[in-house]
Structure 1
């Protein structure tokens, strides 16, 4: 059994559903049922057989823009939630905003974009950007946090609802503890994993302390937390999130770069992060933190 859930325009849903079913017949996906989830504007389509990648592609073609999740057999409550931070749990790329205080935002943001698209080696690109910040006063971090960094719509509700339903929540970022620790506290994560900026005499040295949190570490954090087959949820947006997204039971790409989106079995392109809750089948009355 293959389960596809989507949030889409109600005015044309029936027509588009017919076209979707016809298209997937040619791909060997036999329709078993289609119905709205109780109390939600989520359409659940069940196929007796089929390939997830082809179902996702067909939904993209017939329903875009839509938020969607495709899974085999069943969709259950996650016991572990691991998320990226920049452009996922918050609306900014912290290093880009911090660079603005050094007058280097365009230069550093260009490197960030290429790294998130998967065009550059993440670790090398991170070290290059941090090196450009050498000499910046550490106080700029606090100013940046207070003046620039804001939660993504729905982030608080997603984290609080996962926690209320018993999930372990972890924020894991290729960014910095200087930002991630306050953001983790603000959003209610149980644990934060990130990189550490080196500081001397109140200024950034242009170096990092300790091992680098890269895509492999992100995936390892998820596997470690999920252990023993626990059901896992991951959210991310960039190329360095791909191994984590692929390792999760439900890997969601949020407003993501193409490579990350392609790797995910859940995609949020239209709504906010609460779309993840709807697609998991959690009724609004059970949401928290709104």
Structure 2
């Protein structure tokens, strides 16, 4: 059994659904049932057979923009939630905002964008950007946190609702503990994994301390937390999130770069992070933290 859920424009849903079903018949995915989830604006489609990638592509063609999730057999509340931070749980890229205090935002933001698109090696791009911040006062970090870093809409509700249902949450970032520890505490994460900026004499040295949290570490954290049996959820937006997204039971690309979006079986392009809750089938009456 293949299950597809989507949040789409109700005015055109019926017409588009007919076209979608016809298209998928030709792909060997015959529709077994279609129903709205109780109390939600989520359309659930069940197919006796079919491939997730095929169904995702067909939904894209016929319903875009639509937030969606495709999974085999069943969709359950996850027991482990692992998420990226920058441009996923918060609305900013921390290193880009910090760079503005050094007058280097356009230069560093351009490198960040290419790294998130998967055009540059992540570790090399990280070291290059951190090196450019050499000499910046450590106080700029606290100023940046206070003045510029804001939660993504729906982030608190997503974390709090999953926690209320017994899920453990981990914030894992290619960014920095100087930011992530505060963000993790603010949003209610149980654990934070990230990189550490080196500071000496109250200033950034342009280096990092310890091992680098890269795409492989993100995926390893998810596997470590979930083990072999627990249902897992991951959210991310950039190329360095792809292994983590692919390793999760439900890997969501949140307003993501094309490569990350293509790797995900869940996609949120239109709504905020509470769309993940709707697609998991968690009714609004059970949401927390709003």
Q: Distance in 1 between matches of 2:61 and 2:154?
A: 26
> Which whole-Å CA distance do the structure 1 matches of 2:200 and 2:31 have between them?
63
In 1: Cα distance, 2:139 partner to 2:181 partner: 16
2:250 aligns with 250
Equivalent residue number for residue 159 of structure 2 = 159
Between the aligned partners of 1:277 and 1:10, the Cα distance in structure 2 is 19
- Structure 1 residue 159, shift from structure 2 partner: 0.3
What is the Cα-based RMSD across aligned positions, in Å? 0.3
What is the deviation of 1:136?
0.1
1:236 aligns with 2:250: no
Q: Aligned-pair distance for 1:161?
A: 0.5
The answer for the alignment partner of 1:15 in structure 2 is: 15
Q: Does 1:220 align with 2:220?
A: yes
For 1:131, the equivalent position in structure 2 comes to 131
**In 1: Cα distance, 2:26 partner to 2:188 partner:** 46
Partner of 2:176: 176
1:103 corresponding residue in structure 2: 103
Q: What SS does the corresponding residue of 1:41 show, helix, strand or coil? A: coil
Q: CA deviation at 1:229?
A: 1.1
Query: Which residue pairs with 2:53 in the alignment?
Result: 53
1:190 aligned partner: 190
**In structure 1, what is the equivalent of residue 286 of structure 2?**
286
**1:195-254: CA deviations, max 9, x gaps?**
000000000000000000000000000000001310000000000000000000000000
1:276 corresponds to: 276
Residue 259 of structure 1 corresponds to 259
Q: Distance in 2 between matches of 1:274 and 1:69?
A: 13
Q: Deviations 1:144-202 (Å, cap 9, x if unpaired)?
A: 00110000000000000111100010000000000000000000000000000000000
d(CA) in 1 for partners of 2:137, 2:229:
45
Provide the rounded CA distance (Å) in 2 between the counterparts of 1:204 and 1:105.
Answer: 16
Q: Secondary structure at the match of 1:251?
A: strand
Partner of 1:79: 79
Provide the C-alpha distance between the structure 1 equivalents of 2:208 and 2:228, rounded to a whole number of angstroms.
33
Secondary structure of 1:57's aligned partner:
helix
Normalization by structure 1: what TM-score?
Answer: 1.00
Shift of 1:117: 0.2
Matched, 1:89 2:89: yes
Secondary structure of 1:175 counterpart = strand
Divergent runs of 4+, >4 A: none
Give 1:9 shift.
0.2
List gaps (5 residues or longer) in structure 2.
none
- CA offset at residue 138 of structure 1? 0.2
CA distance in 2, matches of 1:248, 1:54: 19
**Partner Cα separation in structure 1 for residue 69 and residue 190 of structure 2:** 25
Q: In structure 1, the residue corresponding to 2:98 is in which secondary structure?
A: helix
SS, match of residue 193 in structure 1: strand
Structure 1 residue 27, shift from structure 2 partner: 0.3
* Partner-residue secondary structure (3-state), 1:245: helix
For 1:54 and 1:33, how far apart are their aligned partners in 2? 18
Contiguous gaps of at least 5 residues in structure 1: none
Q: Hey, what does 2:42 align to over in structure 1?
A: 42
Paired position in structure 1 for 2:112: 112
